[in-house]
Amino acid sequence: MTISITSILEAELPSLRECNVRNLPVFYQLSDYKEMFRDPRTIILIAKDEAQIVGYVIGTLETNKQFHIISFTVDKNHRRHGIGTMLMKEIEKKSHKYQSVMYTTLNVDVNNHDAIQFYIRYGFKKIMVMNHYYGLFQNGYKLGKRIRIK
């Protein structure tokens, strides 16, 4: 397995959506991905195993001080091979181009224990519970990480 981490090309957006649908309960439409792709505040990175997208991370500058990870996944059969780590390190490195950013945040289902442990390993902490964030009976956590002290 040879994994490469790159910025996405517009022609790869349908494959990104397929990766989303295969792995996450929350789906975005192709038009949403196109809008994110065209937003200069948004960074979309993909992990490819040869020609197949096996993971991705999307982050955006939400405020002058906050970078938010919108969506992050690795294919189930490619997990625990360091791909999530490669994506997290690269998005953090690329988000540093925004000099004013002091925090990175993300949202995660309270029942997604593997993801929560992954994020905690990278310095994220639970900020708050978001009731019904993933539907009527599914809460989410907002996690945050201080990346810069001013």
Residues 28-68: tens digit of each pLDDT: 899 999 999 999 999 999 999 988 999 999 999 987 788 99
Which residue do the tokens 């096996």 mark?
Answer: 54
In the chain, where are the structural domains located?
3-146
Q: Mean pLDDT across the chain, nearest whole number?
A: 89
Any long-range contacts for 111-115 (C-beta under 8 Å, 24+ apart)? 111/138
Q: So what's the architecture of 3-146 in CATH?
A: 3-Layer(aba) Sandwich (3.40)
Calculate ∠ Cα 94-17-43, nearest 5°.
15
Q: Which residues contact 89 (CB under 8 A, 6 or more apart)?
A: none
Burial grade of 138 (CB within 10 A; 0-12, 13-18, 19 or more): middle
CA 1 centroid distance within chain: 22
Task: Report which residue type is found at 136.
Answer: L
Q: Helices marked H in the chain — which ranges?
A: 13-23, 30-38, 83-95, 113-121
| pLDDT higher than 70, residue 150 | no
Task: Report which residue type is found at 74.
Answer: V
Q: Which helix (H) or strand (E) holds 60?
A: strand 52-63
Residues 119-141: tens digit of each pLDDT: 999 999 999 888 877 776 788 88
CA 143/CA 138 separation, integer angstroms: 16
pTM of the model: 0.90
What is the token pair recorded at 86? Answer: 């490669």
